[in-house]
Amino acid sequence: MHYLDNAATTRVLPEAAEAAVHAMCEGFGNPSSLHKMGIEASHLLEDSRKTVASALGCLPEETYFTSCGTESTNISLRGAAHLHRHKKGRIITTEIEHAATLNTCKQLAAEGFDVVFLAPDRTGHITPAALEEALTADTVLLSCQLVNNEIGTVQPVAELGALLKAKAPGALFHIDAVQGLCRVRLTPKKWNCDLMSVSGHKIGAPKGIGALYAKKGLRLPPLMFGGGQEKGMRPGTEPLPNIAAFAKACAVRMAHFDEDYAHVAELAAYLKEQAAANLPDAVCNGQGDVPHVVNLSIPGCKSEVMLRVLEGDEVYVSSGSACSKGRQSGVLRALGLPKARTDSAIRVSFAPFNTKEDVDAFIAAAKKGVKMLRR
């Protein structure tokens, strides 16, 4: 089996699974309980918060646990908008965001906010000039990805954040860092970032756990109401097994950050080299600033058909965001690529456990697919 769809989700790390099992079977107290088991669970919760905060580049008191990146993004965008619900000012985002951002912003537009979607340049980047043109005095929020989940471009968040604060100092800056966690060193304060979303299952933690960075002193209205856990930002009994697993995954991945990055970069270079030699008309889409996401098109080979061919040889990739469920990529469309390119796009995404043998299996299966589909 050759799993190359790690931008969709990752295999749970053994260390993370062990941490989850321990929290489920041994340290299973409720962190809000006042007896010994509750206090021990509370200590595990706060130790985990410190570990995740370190990976986020922020303070533990700025780190809130959620169920996923989508929830963190919804808390951020809807919370920031609610702070300005009477003003109904401008919200700026981009055309190439994850559905969690795009659909939340569309809903806010339906509620009367002035929402602007910035177009990327041909390489998949949002330029400061594009942001400056969209900024108005009543801008209340900017939201953009750090790393694009389909083409791997890294946005110039430091420049965008500095420009936002200079032109609209009262506006909040939200970054979707789901694909950046443990792949790019996160420095929210240097980026003038107020809110940042991450998710655990992209780095070897189980599905169902995420985190939200909220700048110290910033209080957003919650989406839900309950017992006041997570300082009221995200009430509900904390899923301690998932949190412990998330913290362990962060610890493992950050401890091996440099060697993992170098290994994945070597795999990405090898993939492009082998594609050029064996799939001569294949072309890469987007600039691909991070190595773990490589998006390429094989003209004349429909993505959904090629995926079935690859799956037959136990090679697992995707045609884009898992959340799009096979729909044509809005990201590639926003780049202005011709339909033949978007219809034949394949995303290969790596994790540290991948090897050159996985790449070889992909190339061999893709060659077979080309032969079949161009018969």
Query: CA triplet 313, 208, 182: central angle to 5 degrees?
Result: 75
Indicate if 323 belongs to the active site: yes
For residues 61 and 347, what is the distance between their CA atoms, to the nearest angstrom?
37
CB 151 within 8 A of CB 295: yes
* Residue among 58, 182, 193, 323 flagged as catalytic: 323
Tokens of residue 96, six digits: 């190439």
For residues 209 and 224, what is the distance between their CA atoms, to the nearest angstrom?
17
Neighbour count for residue 65 (Cβ, 10 Å)? 27
- Residues taking part in catalysis: 323
